[in-house]
Amino acid sequence: MSEDTTPVTYTPASSPCPTCGEPIAPDANFCESCGTQLGDVTEADAQADARAAQPSPDSGVLPISLPTFMLADNASAPPRRTCTECGGTIGPDLYCEQCGTKAPSERDHFREVPASWVAGVCDRGVRRRRNEDALALVASETPGERCVLIVMDGVSSSTDSDVASLAGARAARDRLATSIPRGLGTPESRESAVHQAITDAAEAAQAAIVAHTESASANPASATFTCVVLESEPEGPVAWVGNLGDSRAYWFPDVGEPLQLTRDDSAAEALIDAGAPREVAYGDHQSHAITAWLGRDSEDTQPRIRRHQITEDGWLLACSDGLWNYAVEVGDLAAALRATVAEAGGDPEAVALGLVTWACEQGGHDNVTVAVARVGAPVVVGETGADEENVTDERASEE
C-alpha cells in the first residue's frame, strides 16, 4: 500500500484540551487523553481522520456509540467530572479541587454500548502507565442482525500509539459502518466483497495511524488490528474476521467446542510453524513479539481473513492480549467467560467488564480490551457481580 508522506504542520497546543479539558504539554501534537489533534493537517490526512461527525438519522448509516471524550470536533466539551471519593469537582490537572484525590484519565477506562446485545470495555490495567488499547463498535438495534467489533492494541515501545490506535479503530469502524455489498449474488462474489471491505477497513486504520504520527518520528506509532463483522446471510448469521498482530477473536457457543477465529502474527506462531511444540513456543521469552502490525513502518497491511458460519447461540468476543495472556488456550478463556456470565448475568456490558476485571485480578500486566456480542437468545440476566470499582480498587492497590 502506498503511504502518504506529505509533512504534517502543527500549531502549538493550548491548555487545557479544547475537547476533553485534560491538561496538555506546550509542545504536544495530540491530546494524550482523548486523541484530539492540536493543529492543522493536510487534506489527505483529513480524509483519514476518524473524528468525523455522527451520520444524520436519514443517511442509512447505523448509529455509533461514542464515549463522551470521543465527541465530534464541533461538539461541546463534556462537563467537568466529579470525584468518586467526595463528589467534588475534578480540576484540569486531574486532581479533585476539594479533597485532592487524583482521578484517572478518561482514556484509562472507557466503554461503548451501541446496542443491548453488543458492548466493549477498554482499560489501562494495573501495571501500565497509560492505555494504548482501543476499541470501536457498531451494532444494529435488532439483536444478531449486524455488528462490527474493532480492537486495536497500540505497541507500547512506539511513540503516540495510544492516540494512533484510537484513531485507527474509529477509522476502521467508520469504513464498515454500513452493510457490505453482496456482489453478484454468488458465494464467491460475496466473499470477495467482504474481503475487500475488511481490507479497506485495515487500510483506513493504517492511514489514520500514519496521519497521527509525526513525520520525523524515529519510533513511529503502530498497533495490532482485529476486526469482527457479523452479518445475516441466507444460511444464517456469519462472522467474518480479519486480523494483523496478536489481538484475537473467538466464538464461544453455549453448547459445543469454543473456537479461536484468528491466528496470531507472532514469534510463537512462527516457532510452531517451524516445528516447535506449542508449550515450548509460548514459553520462549520472545513468544509475544508480533510479526505484523499497522503503522508507518509496517511491511504488510493485508489482514488475514476468515469466515465462520454460526449455527448455535453463543458469544462473539474480540480482545487484546491483555486478556488472553491469562488464558492462552481457548478452553481456559471459555471457562473464564462461562464463570463471568454466571456471575454477571447475560448483560454484554457486565460480561465485558467482568472479563476485564478478571484480567486485572490475574495481575493486569497489560492494557485490557474486551468486546462482546451476544448472538441468539439472550441469557437470563442475573445479579451483576462485576462493577467498575473492582477494576479501580485492584489498580489502586498496585500503585
Domain boundaries, given as residue ranges, for the chain: 107-398
CA distances from 50 to 167, 171, 334 (A): 5, 5, 33
Average pLDDT of the residues of the chain: 80
Fold of 107-398: Phosphatase 2c; domain 1 (3.60.40)
Query: Taking the complete model, does pTM exceed 0.85, yes or no?
Result: no
12 or 173: which leads in pLDDT: 173
For the cut 70, the answer to whether the pLDDT of residue 205 exceeds it is yes
pLDDT band (50, 70, 90) for residue 19 = low
Residue 355 parent element (H or E): helix 348-361
pLDDT average, residue stretch 65-78: 35
Is the separation of the CB atoms in 54 and 138 below 8 Å?
A: no
- The pLDDT-based confidence of 267 (bands split at 50, 70, 90) is confident
Element (H, E) at 203: helix 187-211
CA distance 205 to 223: 9
- Average pLDDT on 106-132 reads 94
The band of 303, judged by pLDDT with boundaries at 50, 70 and 90, is very high
State the pLDDT at residue 56.
33
Instruction: Specify the DSSP element, H or E, that contains 321.
Output: helix 321-324
- 17 vs 213, residue with greater confidence: 213
Give first-to-last CA distance, the chain, whole Å. 43
**Cα–Cα separations (whole angstroms), residue 172 to 31, 46, 179, 243, 325:** 21, 15, 14, 12, 25
More confident residue, 267 or 368: 368
pLDDT at residue 276, rounded to an integer: 85
Position 4 pLDDT exceeds 70: no
Q: Which three cell numbers stand for residue 209?
A: 495511524
Task: Check residue 231 and give its pLDDT.
Answer: 95
Confidence band of 384 (pLDDT split at 50, 70, 90): very low
